[in-house]
Amino acid sequence: MIDIARQYQVALPAWIDDELADVPAAVPDREDRMRLVHRLADRNWRAGDGGPFAALVAERDSGRIVSVGVNVVLASGVSSAHAEVVALGLAQTATGGWDLGGDGLPAHELVVNWRPCVQCYGATMWSGVRALVVAGEGPELEEITTFDEGPLGADWAEQFQARGIEVVKDVLRDEALTVFRDYRKAVDSADGIVVYNARGGAE
C-alpha cells in the first residue's frame, strides 16, 4: 500500500488560554471584538506560530464569542492554516456543521485584522457567515509584511454583499498597522521570524 498521511491537524496554540482567560462569553461591542483580534495577532507572531494574523467568529447581534483563530502555518506546517480558516473551522465544529448560516442558528460574523487573502476570501464565502468585519484593506499589509495575498478583485466587498454577507471596514485600522509594523521590525532585525511565502524562492 502506498505510504500516505490519513489526516492533518490544525489546532490553536497553548498560549491561547492565557489570552482568553479574561474574555467574557459575549463581547457586544465590535471594536472590543477587534481589539481582542489584534491582541491575538500580536501574540501569535511573537510566539512563532505563524504570521501576525488573527480572527474570531461571534454571534453578530449578541457578540457571543463562538471561536477564535490565529495563523498557525508555521506551528502546524499546513499552508492553509490562516486565522480565518482556523476560526471558521472551529466555529463550525462548535455549532455542529458546515453552515454557520444554517436553520436555527443566529447570524454569525467573522472579525479579522485585515481584508482576507484569496484563500480566505473563498473560505469566508463558503462558511455561512452573514458579516465580515475587517480592520482595514489596501496595500499596506503587503507593503509592510511582504506577504503575497493573491489577486483579489477590486469588487471583493461588493461580491460578498451580493451574497448576503455584509462587509464592515476600518474598525481599529491603525491598531492593525501597528501590529504589522512591529512584526516587520522583528523580521528585519533577523530575529528568526519566517515570512513563509511559498513562492519566496521562485522567479
Q: Which residues bind Zn ion (CB under 5 A)?
A: 82, 117, 119-120
| Residue 171 Cα distances to 17, 111, 128, 177, 190, angstroms | 25, 10, 22, 12, 31
- Minimum Å gap between C-beta 108 and Zn ion is 18
- Minimum Å gap between C-beta 174 and Zn ion is 22
Nearer to Zn ion, 22 or 142 (CB): 142
- Minimum Å gap between C-beta 117 and Zn ion is 3
Nearer to Zn ion, 24 or 117 (CB): 117
How far is the C-alpha of 179 from the C-alpha of 174, rounded, in Å? 9
Nearer to Zn ion, 13 or 17 (CB): 13
- Minimum Å gap between C-beta 28 and Zn ion is 27
Nearer to Zn ion, 33 or 82 (CB): 82
CB 11 within 8 A of CB 72: yes
Contacts 24+ apart (CB under 8 A), 108-111: 108/57, 108/58, 108/59, 108/60, 108/66, 109/57, 109/58, 109/59, 109/60, 109/133, 109/166, 110/55, 110/56, 110/57, 110/84, 111/30, 111/33, 111/34, 111/37, 111/55, 111/56, 111/57, 111/58, 111/171
CB 31 within 8 A of CB 52: no
How far is the C-alpha of 145 from the C-alpha of 187, rounded, in Å? 9
Nearer to Zn ion, 110 or 117 (CB): 117
Quick one: cell of 49? Answer: 506560530
Nearer to Zn ion, 4 or 86 (CB): 86
- Minimum Å gap between C-beta 146 and Zn ion is 15
- Minimum Å gap between C-beta 122 and Zn ion is 9
